[in-house]
């Protein structure tokens, strides 16, 4: 399809221009109210020469009006944005800051230290690669430090920097610093951090932020910015199995039907076989379509549109997966949840659950344990227990329709969900899947299923045809299974009679399961809660 | 068919993928989305992202231009050309009250002009066509109160923004649910910076209004800003005289409210180099932001984008 914009003459001078696409590091800063977190970020921006002159001029005025540093510049005011929080002198929400150095591009989520705003920190942590925990050198590891560590770890952050601030107030003492480092490392043993760096700082003076501190030559590690520029951050979703939550069915005309989404795990190439969940059918990718042309391969993090060999009925909310390691499918979830609103969690009440691009009604069956945020440990609760504002717990959920997802520990894009109140429309909880099960006890569809497909949008095949297709499929499945299992058994036992026996029994068992699976999964659909938005979209302009 | 080899994802790739994801999520979940198109570089980049997000389909929503009647002539010409070339539907809205009173930033002041022609006009336009979600090109790095804005900004039926009652956003999960009459402002480019936008415009070869490039233009120096004399509605004050200077604009809006600056940057490369060396923030040229230190926050609460 021709596109008008690309046909434009190049911008003058653009041919000489080198656009350097840099690696991106997202981090969050957490600390108690007075640890100097906003000062640290403000100072980092200032020292890295990134705060514009007119902002500095405004800062001088603001420092006199609202500042807490006497005549000196109050760097925290560079960062604190809203009028209400200026008056209170604390950050009350998540604020995002952006800066870049020669090596990296940074997105900073400045999250509040105030205890009642746990949810904001969870928001910041959910998209962060790394967390900076601010610690006051005079106070050491506080309950808040532990809460912040537990929350960031739980929300999937794997790298942490402990910034021991206000070292000037403990006479730049190496001993004090080492004690704090040892305390933290001991506490963090049970958390899921893969790297920990502890750095001594004086944020307001810029000591050890951009340049090494003259007062603390005993510290051998790099200054904070140098560390952030070089710390190795793996993108765990890139090595995960292929995952693609379908966002939107792309159907510009009768000749094109694609499925648009963002690759949330692994990679994909044309000709790869993919499994459509929860339906459990397999098909093959034909093209990876983008505005810039088809891709040879797509990787996790890219927004693309896939076309498939067969006209299979796929809609928003479906998850396309690697058939080798597919996601789990089930209508029962065990999850850790954080309750976000003042009205307590009510077991039995119906909410909407959104996971990936799928929305389904769900209710909480039980809250089984309360998670102590300072330790991360779970205390079992009596049945009927509730969960209050800002509390975390382990819960079981029942979903109205089965969804495809992964344990959060394996993929945070396909294992995290939110719960929405159906009346107030508020986001009442955020959750992380621990296990997926099925109410009926039937197995997750895991069998390869590469034959016919129903076509959406064209008259459905007659019952007889579909039955014939079904029988053909059954026969081909049985034959394939028999051959495969027998061969496999032969490889293992090296004895023909025994191998045939194993093959036969396996084939019978699997065919039985397959028959059941077909019966169950090909029952008429249509109870999906998701409105069919395609019809609206296909209507074109408004 | 061209096939594009895969390369490692850099920050522009990641920002692009994130924006596309947000555009698609919204379109899939809301009833009547619209894209606010203000003709500037951010709108140009956002429109380009929309073309990418839905390709080979066209973006499944119209553009909306809230016209104040005081935009630069070059902006309107660029707008009409873009729309024609892309074959995309564009709606234009002008607040009739502004026509009635012959609104003028010169006579009525920037505050009233902005209130009537932008804030009120936007609300009227969204109500008129019953849009329940409007995409905007605002970025968090533009201004302090924007830094705390969510990607999906929830507005009451009166279009008010309550900074303390915004929905938390986790991972890529956006909650688009709302009651009748309530609406969403959606900022797909929340995480972009000014530098990212220019780098992207260069990389993707996105056309922008020529006013961003330096050229000899008729300007008057007023209150420390260079105001371009774009038409004869601009009356000279005693002692003022029109000078022809090499100027360009860093942001674009209503010409009487947009300060230009002297520059020799005539190419994209020059612009990017100039911006990298710049020691002032982007919205400095915007006269409306300086009505008071928290004025943007106040405007947002009243329904400004």
Mean pLDDT rounded to a whole number for chain A? 77
Q: Is the pLDDT of residue B158 over 90?
A: no
Neighbours of B121 (CB within 10 A): 21
% of chain A surpassing 70 pLDDT: 67
Identify the pLDDT of residue A440: 75
Would the CB atoms of B268 and A17 count as touching at under 8 Å?
A: yes
> What is the token pair recorded at A124?
């910041």
The string over A35-64, giving b where at least 16 C-beta atoms fall within 10 Å of a residue's C-beta and e elsewhere, is bbbbbbbbbbbbbeeebeeebeebbeebbe
- Pick from A17, A52, A119: CB nearest B168: A119
- Pick from B21, B169, B203: CB nearest A262: B21
As a dihedral over the C-alpha atoms of residue A347, residue A348, residue A351, residue A355, rounded to 10 degrees, the angle is 70
Check if the beta carbon of residue B274 is closer than 8 Å to that of residue B265: yes
For residue A246, give how far its alpha carbon lies from the nearest alpha carbon of chain B (Å).
10
**pLDDT tens, A211-259?**
888 899 999 999 999 999 999 887 777 889 999 999 999 999 989 999 9
Which of A119-133, A452-466, A467-481, B144-158 is least confident? A452-466
Which of A16, A88, A319, A418 to mutate to test binding with chain B, by most B CBs within 10 Å of its CB? Answer: A418
Interface membership of A529 toward B (CB under 8 Å): no
Residues of chain A contacting B53 with CB distance shorter than 8 Å: 260, 303
Q: Is the pLDDT of residue A351 over 50?
A: yes
Quote the CA–CA distance of A17 and B11 in Å, as a whole number.
17
Quote the CA–CA distance of B303 and A520 in Å, as a whole number.
51
Residues 6+ apart with CB under 8 A from B109: none
Residues 6+ apart with CB under 8 A from A83: B293, B294, B297
3-state secondary structure A80-126: CCCHHHHHHCCCCCCEEEEEECCCCEEEEEECCCCHHHHHHHHHHHH
Q: Is the pLDDT of residue A302 over 60?
A: yes
Identify the pLDDT of residue A60: 62
Helix (H, G, I), strand (E, B) or coil at B72: coil
Quote the CA–CA distance of A175 and A64 in Å, as a whole number.
37
Q: If pLDDT is split at 50, 70 and 90, which confidence band does B288 have?
A: very low
Q: Which of these, A340, A337, A320, A324, lies nearest to A275 by C-alpha position?
A: A320
**pLDDT tens, A40-89?**
887 777 766 555 555 556 656 666 665 555 555 666 665 554 444 545 54
A509 DSSP assignment: H
- Pick from A19, A54, A80: CB nearest B203: A19
Residues of chain A contacting B213 with CB distance shorter than 8 Å: 12
Residues of chain B contacting A286 with CB distance shorter than 8 Å: none
Place of tokens 């023909």: A496
- Distances from the Cα of A323 to the Cα of A241, A277, A382, A476, B132, angstroms: 9, 10, 40, 19, 39
Check if the beta carbon of residue A243 is closer than 8 Å to that of residue A413: yes
Identify the pLDDT of residue A242: 96
Place of tokens 């020529």: B210
Neighbours of B101 (CB within 10 A): 13
Q: Is the pLDDT of residue B200 over 60?
A: yes
Identify the pLDDT of residue B293: 43
B134 beta partners: B34, B185
Identify the pLDDT of residue A468: 45
Identify the pLDDT of residue A536: 26
- Distances from the Cα of A424 to the Cα of A352, A390, A392, B177, angstroms: 11, 18, 21, 9
Q: Is the pLDDT of residue A12 over 90?
A: no
Beta strands in chain B (DSSP E): 3-4, 33-36, 63-66, 90-93, 133-135, 152-155, 183-186, 215-222, 225-228, 243-248, 261-262
Neighbours of A475 (CB within 10 A): 11
- For residue A474, the surrounding DSSP H or E stretch is helix A463-493
Residues of chain B contacting A298 with CB distance shorter than 8 Å: 6
For residue A435, give how far its alpha carbon lies from the nearest alpha carbon of chain B (Å).
19
Calculate mean pLDDT across residues B33-57: 96
Identify the pLDDT of residue A498: 56
Q: Is the pLDDT of residue A484 over 60?
A: no
Identify the pLDDT of residue A83: 46
Which of the pair, B100 or A41, is modelled with greater confidence?
B100
Quote the CA–CA distance of B305 and B301 in Å, as a whole number.
9
- Pick from B85, B206, B280: CB nearest A53: B280
> What is the token pair recorded at B217?
């233009």
Identify the pLDDT of residue A3: 41
Q: Is the pLDDT of residue A446 over 90?
A: no
- For residue A464, the surrounding DSSP H or E stretch is helix A463-493
A285 beta partners: A308
ipTM of predicted assembly, 2 dp: 0.89
Calculate mean pLDDT across residues A363-380: 89
Would the CB atoms of A301 and B17 count as touching at under 8 Å?
A: yes
Check if the beta carbon of residue A94 is closer than 8 Å to that of residue B150: no
Quote the CA–CA distance of B222 and B238 in Å, as a whole number.
11
Neighbours of B70 (CB within 10 A): 22
Interface of A with B in 386-415 (CB under 8 A): 412-413
DSSP secondary structure, B1-66, as one string: --EEPP----HHHHHHHHHHHHHHHHHHH-SSEEEE--SSHHHHHHHHHHHHHHTTSPPSS-EEEE
Residues 6+ apart with CB under 8 A from A493: A499, A502
Residues 6+ apart with CB under 8 A from A393: A336, A337, A339, A345, A367, A368, A369, A370, A371, A381, A387
Identify the pLDDT of residue A487: 56
Q: Which of these, A4, A198, A156, lies nearest to B170 by C-alpha position?
A: A156
Residues 6+ apart with CB under 8 A from B198: B41, B268, B271, B272, B275
**pLDDT tens, B13-37?**
999 999 999 999 999 999 999 999 9
How many residues make up chain A in this entry?
Answer: 542
Would the CB atoms of B4 and A540 count as touching at under 8 Å?
A: no
Check if the beta carbon of residue B76 is closer than 8 Å to that of residue B47: no
Which of A273-282, A339-348, B278-287 is least confident? B278-287
- Distances from the Cα of A373 to the Cα of A152, A390, B152, angstroms: 11, 10, 28
Which of the pair, B302 or A7, is modelled with greater confidence?
B302
Interface membership of A5 toward B (CB under 8 Å): yes
Q: Which of these, A416, A418, A440, A439, lies nearest to A428 by C-alpha position?
A: A418
B145 DSSP assignment: G
Q: If pLDDT is split at 50, 70 and 90, which confidence band does A90 have?
A: very low
Would the CB atoms of A299 and B6 count as touching at under 8 Å?
A: yes
Q: Is the pLDDT of residue A505 over 70?
A: no
Interface of A with B in 156-215 (CB under 8 A): none
What end-to-end distance do the CA atoms of chain B give, in Å? Answer: 41
- Pick from B17, B53, B202: CB nearest A17: B202
Check if the beta carbon of residue A384 is closer than 8 Å to that of residue A347: yes
Which of B44, B53, B60, B133 to mutate to test binding with chain A, by most A CBs within 10 Å of its CB? Answer: B60
**pLDDT tens, B218-267?**
999 988 889 999 988 888 888 899 999 999 999 899 999 999 999 999 99
Q: If pLDDT is split at 50, 70 and 90, which confidence band does A455 have?
A: very low
Quote the CA–CA distance of A166 and A141 in Å, as a whole number.
14
Q: Are strands B183-186 and B133-135 parallel, antiparallel or unpaired?
A: parallel
For residue A334, give how far its alpha carbon lies from the nearest alpha carbon of chain B (Å).
19
Check if the beta carbon of residue A471 is closer than 8 Å to that of residue A452: no
Q: Which of these, B131, B148, B221, lies nearest to B182 by C-alpha position?
A: B131
Quote the CA–CA distance of B90 and B79 in Å, as a whole number.
9
Which of the pair, A36 or A19, is modelled with greater confidence?
A36
Identify the pLDDT of residue A77: 60
Residues of chain B contacting A10 with CB distance shorter than 8 Å: 205
Identify the pLDDT of residue B191: 94
């Amino acid at each position: 399809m021709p596109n008008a914009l690309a046909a434009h003459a190049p911008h003058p001078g653009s041919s000489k221009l080198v656009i350097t696409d840099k690696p991106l590091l997202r981090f969050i800063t957490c600390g108690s109210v007075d640890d100097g977190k906003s000062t640290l970020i403000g100072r980092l921006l200032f020292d890295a020469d990134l705060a514009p002159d007119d902002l500095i001029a405004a800062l001088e005025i603001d420092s006199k009006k609202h500042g807490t540093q006497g005549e000196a510049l109050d760097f925290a005011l560079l960062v604190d944005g809203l009028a209400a929080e200026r008056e209170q002198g604390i950050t009350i929400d998540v604020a995002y800051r952006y800066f870049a150095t020669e090596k990296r591009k940074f997105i900073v989520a400045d999250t509040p230290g105030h205890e009642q705003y746990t949810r904001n920190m969870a928001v910041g942590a959910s998209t962060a690669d790394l967390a900076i925990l601010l610690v006051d050198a005079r106070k050491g590891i506080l309950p808040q430090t532990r809460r912040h560590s537990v929350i960031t770890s739980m929300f999937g952050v794997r790298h942490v920097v402990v910034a021991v601030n206000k070292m000037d107030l403990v006479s730049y003492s190496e001993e004090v610093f080492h004690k704090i480092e040892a305390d933290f490392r001991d506490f963090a043993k049970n958390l899921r951090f893969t790297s920990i760096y502890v750095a001594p700082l004086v944020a307001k003076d810029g000591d050890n932020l951009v340049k090494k501190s003259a007062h603390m030559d005993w510290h051998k590690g790099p200054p904070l910015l140098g560390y952030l520029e070089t710390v190795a951050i793996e993108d765990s979703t890139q090595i995960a199995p292929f995952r693609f939550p379908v966002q939107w069915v792309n159907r510009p005309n009768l000749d094109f039907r694609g499925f648009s989404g963002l690759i949330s795990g692994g990679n994909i190439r044309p000709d790869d076989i993919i499994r459509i969940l929860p339906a459990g059918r397999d098909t093959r990718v034909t093209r990876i379509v983008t505005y810039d042309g088809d891709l040879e391969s797509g990787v996790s993090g890219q927004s693309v549109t896939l076309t498939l060999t067969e006209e299979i009925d796929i809609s928003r909310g479906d998850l396309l997966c690697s058939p080798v390691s597919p996601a789990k499918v089930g209508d029962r979830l065990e999850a850790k949840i954080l309750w976000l609103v003042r009205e307590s969690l009510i077991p039995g009440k119906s909410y909407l659950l959104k996971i990936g691009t799928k929305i389904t009604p769900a209710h909480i069956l039980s809250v089984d344990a309360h998670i102590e945020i300072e330790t991360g440990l779970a205390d079992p609760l009596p049945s009927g227990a509730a969960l209050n504002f800002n509390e975390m717990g382990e819960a079981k959920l029942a979903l109205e329709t089965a969804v495809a997802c992964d344990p959060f520990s394996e993929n945070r894009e396909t294992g995290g969900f939110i719960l929405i109140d159906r009346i107030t429309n508020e986001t009442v909880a955020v959750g992380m899947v621990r296990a997926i099960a099925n109410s009926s006890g039937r197995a997750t569809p895991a069998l390869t299923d590469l034959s016919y497909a129903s076509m959406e949008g064209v008259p459905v095949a007659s019952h007889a045809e579909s039955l014939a297709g079904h029988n053909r499929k059954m026969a081909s499945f049985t034959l394939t299974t028999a051959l495969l299992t027998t061969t496999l058994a032969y490889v293992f036992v090296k004895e023909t009679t025994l191998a045939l026996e194993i093959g036969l029994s396996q084939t019978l068992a699997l065919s039985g399961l397959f028959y059941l699976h077909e019966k169950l999964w090909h029952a008429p659909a249509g109870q999906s809660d998701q409105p069919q938005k395609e019809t609206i979209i296909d209507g074109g302009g408004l | 068919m061209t096939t594009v080899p895969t390369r490692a994802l850099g920050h522009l790739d990641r920002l692009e993928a994130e924006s596309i994801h947000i555009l698609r999520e919204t379109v899939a979940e809301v009833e009547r989305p619209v894209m606010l198109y203000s003709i500037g570089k951010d709108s140009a980049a956002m429109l380009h992202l929309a073309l990418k997000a839905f390709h080979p389909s066209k973006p499944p929503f119209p553009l909306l231009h809230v016209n104040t009647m005081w935009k630069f002539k070059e902006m309107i010409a660029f707008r009409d050309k873009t729309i024609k070339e892309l074959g995309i539907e564009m709606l234009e809205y002008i607040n009739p009250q502004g026509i009635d009173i012959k609104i003028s930033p010169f006579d009525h002041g920037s505050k009233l002009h902005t209130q009537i022609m932008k804030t009120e006009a936007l609300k009227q336009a969204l109500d008129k066509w019953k849009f329940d979600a409007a995409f905007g090109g605002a970025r968090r790095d533009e201004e302090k109160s924007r830094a705390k804005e969510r990607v999906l900004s929830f507005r009451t039926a009166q279009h008010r923004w309550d900074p303390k009652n915004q929905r938390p956003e986790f991972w890529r999960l956006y909650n688009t649910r709302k009651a009748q009459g309530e609406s969403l402002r959606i900022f797909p480019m929340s995480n972009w910076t000014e530098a990212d936008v220019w780098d992207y415009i260069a990389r993707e070869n996105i056309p922008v209004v020529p006013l961003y490039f330096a050229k000899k233009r008729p300007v008057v120096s007023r209150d420390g800003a260079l105001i371009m004399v774009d038409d004869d509605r601009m009356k000279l004050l005693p002692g003022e005289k029109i000078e022809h200077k090499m100027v360009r604009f860093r942001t674009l809006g209503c010409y009487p409210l947009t300060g230009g600056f002297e520059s020799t940057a005539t190419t994209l490369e020059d612009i990017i180099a100039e911006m990298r060396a710049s020691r002032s923030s982007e919205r400095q040229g915007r006269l409306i932001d300086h009505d008071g230190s928290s004025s943007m926050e106040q405007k947002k609460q009243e329904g400004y984008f």
